[in-house]
């Protein structure tokens, strides 16, 4: 339980009544997950290897229909990273306000984790990374172009500790992973799909649509396609043994906690059991994986909101992390909540509402007011037809079914918007409306095609599109059909041309074929890899005509033996941040 950080080591020599001291130098004391007395003790050796010593990680993204992943270079043992992580502690608000008290708390992983969750974002304290979710990243780097934490942390120090532009959730989570692993706290990244941002702490998120089916940017609540946070492993002497283990920390600046943008540590067991009155920030994290959704139709003429429907099982799906010792996805949803739809899950939800003093407030999933009692006359869904790839036309099928034994006339207003991964609409790319007659119990399919030429210039670097159909049923309630689409980038291939040996040059070739029938320009290849090359290699690649293949060669000199990861990121004017990684056995 000693305070972590930099120590001076001095030897005192006393002989025949006189004494002299000699300064032997400095050392840095870290948390020790291998030591059974330590708060961060992790009994499983393979987990210590992965969650403390491993410098490479896999981060999951996309959406619940279509999970994808990319590599990340945490690089916690690379040059100067330890010094920078100690600087993060010394530049925190707590240290600036009262250095002695701050340092005296640094024996405690929950204190250090909470301080770093504030310092990784730049809000409040000139921390490491400035967030930007606008879709416009001028004046900085697009969040999806980073491939590792090292460059970000080095840039922060080099600029005189000015926030690095720009980050989004996985960048904050990855940088926090680097800092915590560097200090000896076992840490991993977690991706939650259909993640709720419940701004008003009522365990419910509200979404608003207009009569044309446009998803409106109204209200502070939102449902993100995915959100990435961290789990760190340590004991919770403040809460008791049943809350020891994985603790949720989140450095993405979403809501203030005690007046500062930080989040956690919240015991994962407390989240699962609905004990959301325990420290820290449990209600927000509970909502991220459990909130109920309310979908409203907003009428701008009178400012009236009409509830269309509510759902209690869509939030918090496929909660994912990288497997120990492998690049596979492991699903940890059951560690956050009981099975959706089970009575136990609803009981925990009610318990959480009670702890927040919400039991008397309108609960859409319990007491159903009249407007929800009315059953919809039709159902609808979007099906994907064909491949979901940037550069190809987007083909969908809207399936509408009449659930009644009467004829139904339906006016369908459809829109498609480019979005960022938080589902914030950025630009309309397509709209259409159609009037449909459905015989009793009839199902009809309507093919939709959104050509590449229509969405190409408005697509964000997240490659995400939200398609909605608002169905106005004559004499019935409105039905909202929506789907979030994530398009895949084309592939890129990495070839190592020869044996990788310690301190010897070896050639690497990166191959990319332009898959679209127009020229791509402004092509840049970015390469990094801990113990394979120093810093970041950036190579300008000539423009590629339609169907043309580029082969880009460069040299690496491995500086350590073992399994190492090379990460590449290829960008051009038509494709943003195509990522690949390769394991190289040195």
* CA atoms 215, 218, 222, 224: torsion sign: positive
> Locate tokens 């190289």: which residue?
584
Element (H, E) at 117: helix 109-119
Q: Which residues pair with 188 in a beta bridge?
A: 231
Element (H, E) at 352: helix 343-355
Element (H, E) at 178: helix 169-182
* Helix/strand/coil for 378: strand
- Those residues with Cβ within 8 angstroms of residue 501's Cβ, 6 or more apart along the chain or in another chain: 558, 586
Across 273-404, the runs of DSSP E, i.e. the strands, are 292-299, 304-311, 317-322, 329-331, 378-384, 394-402
> Locate tokens 């592939």: which residue?
491
Q: Which residues pair with 72 in a beta bridge?
A: 57
* CA atoms 351, 355, 356, 360: torsion sign: positive
Peptide bond into 65 cis (omega under 30): no
Binding residues: 290, 292, 340, 345
> Locate tokens 């980073």: which residue?
146
Q: Which of 476, 342, 327, 449 is nearest to 386 (CA)?
A: 449
Binding residues for Ca(2+): 290, 292, 340, 345
Output the six-digit token pair for 482.
């929506």
- φ, ψ of residue 178 to 5 degrees: the values are -60, -50
Element (H, E) at 116: helix 109-119
Long-range contacts of 498-505 (CB under 8 A, 24+ apart): 500/556, 500/558, 500/564, 500/584, 500/585, 500/586, 501/558, 501/586, 502/558, 502/559, 502/560, 502/561, 502/586, 503/557, 503/558, 503/559, 504/557, 504/558, 505/555, 505/556, 505/557
Q: Find the length of the chain.
A: 586
The answer to whether 520 and 545 have CB atoms below 8 angstroms apart is no
- Active-site residues, by number, are 169, 227, 250
CA 200 to chain centre: 21
Across 94-186, the runs of DSSP E, i.e. the strands, are 129-131, 164-167
| Nearest-angstrom CA–CA distance, 550 and 490 | 13
């Amino acid at each position: 339980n000693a305070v972590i950080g930099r120590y001076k080591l001095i030897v005192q020599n006393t002989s025949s009544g006189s004494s002299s001291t000699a300064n032997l130098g400095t050392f840095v004391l870290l948390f020790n997950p291998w030591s059974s007395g330590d708060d961060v003790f992790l009994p499983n050796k393979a987990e210590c290897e992965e969650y403390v010593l491993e410098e490479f990680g896999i981060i999951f993204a996309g959406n619940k229909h279509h999970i994808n992943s990319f590599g990340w270079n945490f690089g916690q043992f690379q040059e100067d990273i330890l010094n920078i992580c100690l600087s993060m502690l010394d530049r925190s608000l707590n240290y600036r306000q009262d250095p002695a008290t701050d340092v005296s708390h640094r024996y405690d992983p929950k204190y250090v984790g909470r301080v770093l969750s504030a310092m990784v974002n730049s809000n409040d304290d000139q921390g490491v990374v400035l967030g930007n979710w606008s879709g416009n990243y001028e004046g900085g780097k697009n969040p999806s172009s980073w491939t590792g934490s090292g460059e970000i942390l080095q840039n922060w120090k080099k600029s005189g500790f000015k926030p690095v532009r720009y980050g989004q959730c996985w960048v904050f989570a990855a940088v926090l992973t680097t800092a915590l692993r560097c200090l000896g706290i076992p840490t991993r990244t977690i991706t939650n799909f259909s993640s709720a941002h419940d701004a008003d702490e009522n365990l419910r998120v509200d979404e608003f649509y207009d009569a044309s089916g446009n998803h409106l940017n109204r209200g502070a609540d939102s449902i993100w396609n995915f959100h990435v946070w961290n789990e760190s492993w340590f004991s919770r002497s403040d809460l008791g043994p049943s809350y020891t283990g994985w603790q949720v920390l989140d450095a993405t600046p979403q809501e203030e906690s005690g007046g500062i943008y930080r989040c956690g540590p919240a015991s994962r067991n407390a989240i699962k059991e609905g004990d959301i009155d325990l420290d820290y920030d449990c209600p927000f994290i509970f909502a991220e994986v459990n909130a109920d959704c309310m979908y409203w139709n907003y009428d701008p003429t009178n400012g009236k909101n009409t509830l269309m429907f509510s759902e209690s099982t869509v939030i918090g799906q496929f909660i994912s992390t990288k497997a120990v010792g492998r690049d596979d996805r492991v699903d940890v949803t059951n560690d956050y909540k009981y099975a959706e739809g089970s009575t136990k899950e609803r009981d925990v939800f009610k318990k959480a509402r009670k702890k927040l003093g919400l039991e008397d407030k309108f609960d859409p999933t319990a007491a159903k007011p009249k407007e929800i009692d009315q059953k919809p006359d039709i159902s609808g869904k979007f099906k994907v037809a064909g491949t979901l790839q940037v550069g190809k036309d987007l083909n969908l099928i809207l399936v509408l079914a009449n659930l009644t034994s009467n004829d139904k006339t339906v006016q369908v207003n459809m829109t498609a918007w480019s979005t960022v991964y938080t589902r914030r609409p950025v630009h309309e790319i397509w709209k259409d409306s159609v009037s449909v007659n459905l015989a009793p119990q009839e199902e009809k399919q309507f093919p939709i095609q959104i050509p590449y030429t229509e969405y190409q210039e408005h697509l964000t670097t997240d490659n995400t599109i939200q398609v909605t159909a608002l169905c106005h049923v004559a004499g019935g309630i409105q039905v909202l059909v929506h789907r979030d689409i994530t398009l895949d980038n084309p592939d890129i291939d990495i070839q190592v041309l020869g044996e990788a040996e310690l301190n010897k040059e070896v050639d690497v070739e990166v191959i990319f074929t332009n898959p679209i029938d127009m020229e791509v320009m402004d092509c840049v290849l970015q390469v990094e890899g801990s113990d394979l090359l120093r810093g970041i290699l950036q190579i300008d690649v000539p423009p590629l005509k339609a169907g043309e293949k580029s082969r880009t060669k460069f040299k690496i000199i491995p500086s350590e033996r073992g399994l190492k990861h090379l990460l590449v990121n290829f960008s051009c004017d038509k494709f943003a941040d195509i990522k690949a990684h390769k394991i190289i056995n040195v």
